[in-house]
């Protein structure tokens, strides 16, 4: 006689997914906390963070390097 299923297959699959890997351990409570804090926004919809960050970096690079950025873009455009 087969045993009755306690949980639906979807729940079992989700748990298997979650426990596919052991959580990251950075060997320090504080580092683990920072790691979780920093990676949380990257797990879903990372572009909400990536786009403003990329624009800021590009602006900062332009402010620091000036015309060199224009040459860099020309170089990158030839990159394919």
Partner 1 sequence: MDFKDLIFSLFASSVLFIRRSIFLVIAPYKTMRKVARDEDSIQPVLIMGLILVYFFFASSLRSHVYHPIILFEVTLINLALTILFFAILRLVFLSEKKVNLRPFLILFTYTLIPTLIWFLVNSFLFRLLPPPRTFSLLGRGFSLIYLSFSIAILFWKIIITYLAIRYSTTFTFFRIIYSSLLYLLIVIPYSVLLYSFGLFRIPFL
User: What residue ranges bind partner 1 (CB under 8 A)?
Assistant: 17, 20-22, 24-26, 35, 42-47, 50-51, 53-55, 57-59, 61-62, 67, 69-74, 76-80
Give the residue with the Cβ less far from partner 1, 7 or 71.
Answer: 71
Residue 68: alpha-carbon gap to chain centroid: 30
Least Å distance, CB 1 to partner 1, is: 31
Least Å distance, CB 4 to partner 1, is: 26
Residue 7 phi, psi dihedral angles, 5° rounding? -125, 150
Give the residue with the Cβ less far from partner 1, 7 or 41.
Answer: 41
21: left (phi over 0), alpha (psi -120 to 50) or beta: beta
SS3 content of the chain, % helix, strand, coil (to 5): 70, 0, 30
Least Å distance, CB 5 to partner 1, is: 21
């Amino acid at each position: 006689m087969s045993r009755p299923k306690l949980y639906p297959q979807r729940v079992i699959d989700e748990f298997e997914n979650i426990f596919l890997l052991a959580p990251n351990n950075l060997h320090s409570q504080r580092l683990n906390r920072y790691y979780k804090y920093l990676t949380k926004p990257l797990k879903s919809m990372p572009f909400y963070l990536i786009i403003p960050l990329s624009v800021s970096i590009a602006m900062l690079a332009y402010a620091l390097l000036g015309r060199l950025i224009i040459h860099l873009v020309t170089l990158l455009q030839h990159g394919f």
